[in-house]
Every structure is written in structure tokens, then in C-alpha cells.
């Protein structure tokens, strides 16, 4: 289980500030693949839900409630940490 940031992200960043385990990282500015959003590390997320109500665009969902149109975003969040810049971007 983990929370997932989706395409609705406007890079406000408050999610990252409230995360108690510091597992939300901003995609590098201007990066064509990762620059559009923040990402949640599913291996470190503790499911506390602190980020979800803070998001001004309601872009964050529990992974079992992600709307169908954003179905590829759980994998994208995970990929940011396994293949993308991950914590090095923090």
C-alpha cells in the first residue's frame, strides 16, 4: 500500500513538506520525463495520508483508489525511484 501522485499535480510541494518520512520528491525542473510532478516512494510510504488533504488539486490517491484515467501513475511513482532520479533529485 502507498499513496500515489497523479497527472493532476501542479508542483505546489506542500505534500513534501508534511510527509513525516520524507518520501515525496520533486521531479527535476524542466526534465522532460519527470519534471511535471512530485513522486511518492512506494517502498517508504507509510500510508499515513498526511499529504492527501493538503494537495490543492486533489492529485493524491491511495493506490487502490486511483481513478482509471491515471492507472499508469502508481508505476510511474515507483519508476521515479527505481529508474529515475529518485532521492538524488531532493
Distance, in Å, from the CA atom of 32 to the CA atom of 2, rounded to the nearest integer, reads: 25
| Alpha carbon separation from 68 to 10, 71, 74, 83 (Å, rounded) | 20, 5, 11, 24
Q: What x/- string results for residues 22 through 61 when contact with other proteins is judged by CB under 8 A?
A: x---------------------x-xxxxx-xx--------
63 lies in the site for other proteins, by CB under 8 A = no
65 lies in the site for other proteins, by CB under 8 A = no
Between 21 and 75, CB nearer to other proteins: 21
90 lies in the site for other proteins, by CB under 8 A = no
79 lies in the site for other proteins, by CB under 8 A = no
Would you say 5 and 73 are in contact if contact means Cβ atoms under 8 Å apart? yes
Distance, in Å, from the CA atom of 44 to the CA atom of 57, rounded to the nearest integer, reads: 23
**Where along the sequence are the contacts to other proteins (CB under 8 A)?**
1, 18, 20-22, 44, 46-50, 52-53
Amino acid at each position: 500500500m502507498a499513496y500515489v501522485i497523479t497527472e493532476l499535480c501542479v508542483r505546489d510541494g506542500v505534500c513534501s513538506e508534511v510527509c513525516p518520512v520524507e518520501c515525496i520528491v520533486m521531479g527535476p525542473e524542466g526534465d522532460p520525463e519527470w519534471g511535471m510532478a512530485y513522486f511518492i516512494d512506494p517502498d517508504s510510504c507509510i500510508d499515513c495520508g498526511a499529504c492527501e488533504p493538503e494537495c490543492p488539486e486533489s492529485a493524491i490517491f491511495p493506490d487502490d483508489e486511483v481513478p482509471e484515467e491515471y492507472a499508469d501513475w502508481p508505476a510511474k511513482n515507483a519508476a521515479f525511484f527505481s529508474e529515475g532520479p529518485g532521492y538524488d533529485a531532493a
